[in-house]
């Protein structure tokens, strides 16, 4: 058998050499009848669009400048994310007091630019409506300070927001300690029937910026069904450097951003592109340690075609997480780590650098440009600012993910040439496989070969249902169905303004 294989390989080689020699000698013209295979976009279906996310922020605003910075950014997305409430809380860094007044100060700046923002999108809410939603949380540190029988205004407002007859989940961003959430849930549990309380828990989605008081571990243990994204930690900052969220901008402070470009998160860049822009820019302070450590709690909620909030394992601007049970935890949560043997972990490999932080900093250029363009919206009329391109793939618009079913070995055709830009900007295209998206700990995702990664139209061949593992071991099996995540990034090319990128995520279900 081996001899036969060698012989046939040799024969094939000889034929190839002979053919190439013929080619060199004659440069034979193509037969007149030759026609390229016509480009026919492959049938795709739209996955459900989650619509706008609802968010309730619990922030230890006042402890250092960065919560205030994050609030400025959040307000520039108040048309794309429904801000249900902003509770001012404590944390390990600010134990005794809460500072809703600082949030009101930022909102006063928003009030000055809201009508300008509405020239770019009519969905920006009135400042008066937002002002009513800025409320004090628990005024004391940790679980010892909560009063379930006399909850703080922020705890009650959070429960009201969750109880609205709205089918969408309520995202709770823990930018500081979690004790106001613990207070709210203890209050509700004592008053609701078990089914109603279970429905409340099912409505919540927590994204926690590490554990900044003792409430996080308690909440995860006490409410095992509570949807949780984040890396459990001690209560102080000793373990922050390993947490995904530091990929937002922590490169120099935490010394963990190898491979990341720091330019667009430096105070110099922020001075010019954010702080210099009008009243809202003036409310954006210079950072003390890092830029906007809490922003990842909502960055993945921005509807950009890449983010899929319900699937932290798919990755997006807010980072990528793996559903697993970290050491010392009583249940699974969307967290970091994973199987290093299989190399199916929460880390992304970007430009040869593998880290959890890369799952955020890989998008840095795009999300910083996006913010800079939003700041232009606060001071410029529509004609003088940039707006996002609108990708269209195989005739399907909107930002919802696409699903294509295919077999290993098959080639699919993708056409984004109908994509548009509201400013008439020319567009550039980039198709890439997000190899780590959707890792479930079993095996690598399918392998793709993209024929024209920078063209509006490309064909993509599924070269294997499971990509080759780094270890070629016979016991590694390939499940019968695997899903590849192909991403199209469409970027506009405005003159003298930050370019904006929007995406389409294309799931290719391979059998």
Out of 62, 100, 176, 444, the residue judged to bind Ca ion by CB under 5 A = 176
Cβ closest to Ca ion, residue 378 vs residue 443: 378
- Are residues 176 and 142 in contact, defined by beta-carbon separation less than 8 angstroms? no
Out of 56, 175, 228, 377, the residue judged to bind Ca ion by CB under 5 A = 175
Out of 42, 55, 56, 60, the residue judged to bind Ca ion by CB under 5 A = 60
Footprint of Ca ion on 415-444 (CB under 5 A): 421, 423, 425
Q: Pick from 138, 111, 61, 180: which is nearest to 378 by CA?
A: 111
Segment lying near Ca ion (by CB under 5 A), choices 61-69, 132-140, 229-237, 462-470: 61-69
Q: Pick from 122, 99, 124: which is nearest to 111 by CA?
A: 124
Segment lying near Ca ion (by CB under 5 A), choices 263-271, 307-315, 379-387, 478-486: 379-387
Segment lying near Ca ion (by CB under 5 A), choices 104-112, 162-170, 176-184, 427-435: 176-184
Q: Residue 131 phi/psi, 5° resolution?
A: -60, -35
Edge-to-edge strand list for the sheet holding 427-433: 45-46, 402-406, 501-510, 482-492, 427-433
Closest CB 500 distance from Ca ion, rounded Å: 6
Buried b / exposed e along 277-296 (16+ C-beta atoms within 10 A)? bbebbebbbebeebbbbbbb
- Are residues 378 and 75 in contact, defined by beta-carbon separation less than 8 angstroms? no
Q: What is the DSSP letter of 289?
A: S
338: CB partners within 8 A, 6+ apart: 322, 324, 344, 345, 346, 347, 439, 441
Q: Helical H runs in 263-363?
A: 267-270, 278-282, 296-299, 358-361
Cβ closest to Ca ion, residue 233 vs residue 308: 233
Footprint of Ca ion on 62-81 (CB under 5 A): 67
Site size toward Ca ion (CB under 5 A) is: 11
Cβ closest to Ca ion, residue 60 vs residue 415: 60
Footprint of Ca ion on 481-500 (CB under 5 A): 492
244 counts as binding Ca ion under rule CB under 5 A = no
Cβ closest to Ca ion, residue 480 vs residue 496: 496
The position carrying tokens 């940790």 is 142
Applying CB under 5 A, the residues found at the interface with Ca ion are 60, 67, 175-176, 294, 386-387, 421, 423, 425, 492
């Amino acid at each position: 058998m081996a001899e036969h294989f060698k012989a046939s390989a040799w024969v094939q080689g000889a034929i190839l050499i002979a053919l190439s020699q013929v080619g060199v000698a004659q440069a034979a013209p193509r037969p007149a009848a030759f026609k390229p295979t016509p480009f026919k976009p492959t049938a795709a279906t739209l996955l459900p669009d989650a619509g706008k996310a609802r968010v309730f922020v619990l922030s230890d605003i006042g402890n250092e400048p960065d919560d205030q910075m994050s609030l400025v950014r959040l307000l520039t997305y108040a048309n794309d994310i429904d801000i249900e409430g902003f509770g001012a809380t404590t944390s390990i860094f600010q134990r005794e007091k809460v500072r809703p007044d600082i949030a009101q100060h930022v909102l006063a700046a928003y009030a000055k630019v809201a009508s300008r923002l509405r020239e770019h999108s009519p969905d920006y809410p009135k400042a008066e409506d937002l002002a009513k939603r800025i409320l004090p949380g628990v005024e004391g540190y940790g679980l010892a300070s909560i009063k379930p029988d006399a909850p703080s205004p922020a705890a009650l407002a959070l429960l009201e927001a969750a109880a609205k007859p709205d089918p969408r989940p309520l995202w709770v961003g823990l930018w500081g300690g979690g004790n106001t959430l613990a207070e709210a849930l203890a209050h509700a549990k004592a008053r609701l029937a078990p089914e109603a309380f279970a429905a409340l828990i099912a409505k919540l989605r927590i994204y926690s910026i590490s554990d900044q008081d003792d409430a996080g571990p308690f909440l995860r243990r006490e409410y095992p069904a509570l949807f949780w994204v984040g890396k459990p930690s001690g209560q102080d900052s000793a373990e922050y450097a390993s947490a995904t969220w530091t990929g937002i901008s922590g490169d120099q402070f935490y010394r963990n951003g190898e491979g990341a470009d720091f330019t667009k998160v430096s105070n110099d860049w922020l001075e010019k592109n954010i702080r210099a822009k009008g009243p809202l820019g003036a409310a954006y302070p210079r950072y003390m340690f890092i830029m906007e450590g809490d922003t990842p709690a909502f960055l993945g909620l921005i509807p950009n075609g890449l983010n899929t909030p319900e699937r932290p394992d798919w990755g997006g601007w807010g980072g990528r997480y793996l559903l697993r049970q970290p050491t010392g935890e009583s249940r699974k949560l969307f967290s970091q780590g994973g199987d290093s043997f299989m190399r199916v972990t929460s880390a992304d490999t970007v430009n040869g650098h593998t880290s959890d932080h890369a799952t955020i900093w890989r998008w840095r250029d795009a999300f910083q440009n996006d913010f800079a363009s939003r700041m232009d919206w606060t001071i410029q009329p529509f004609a003088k600012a940039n707006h996002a391109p609108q990708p269209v793939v195989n005739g399907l618009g909107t930002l919802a993910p696409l699903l294509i079913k295919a077999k290993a070995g098959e080639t699919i055709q993708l056409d984004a040439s109908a994509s548009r830009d509201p400013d008439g900007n020319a567009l550039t295209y980039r198709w890439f496989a997000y190899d780590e998206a959707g890792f479930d700990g079993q095996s690598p995702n399918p392998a793709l070969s993209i024929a024209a990664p920078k063209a509006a139209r490309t064909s993509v061949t599924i070269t294997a249902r499971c990509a080759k593992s780094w270890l070629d071991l016979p016991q590694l099996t390939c499940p019968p169905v695997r899903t590849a995540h192909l991403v199209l990034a469409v970027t506009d090319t405005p003159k003298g303004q930050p370019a904006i990128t929007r995406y389409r995520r294309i799931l290719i279900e391979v059998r």
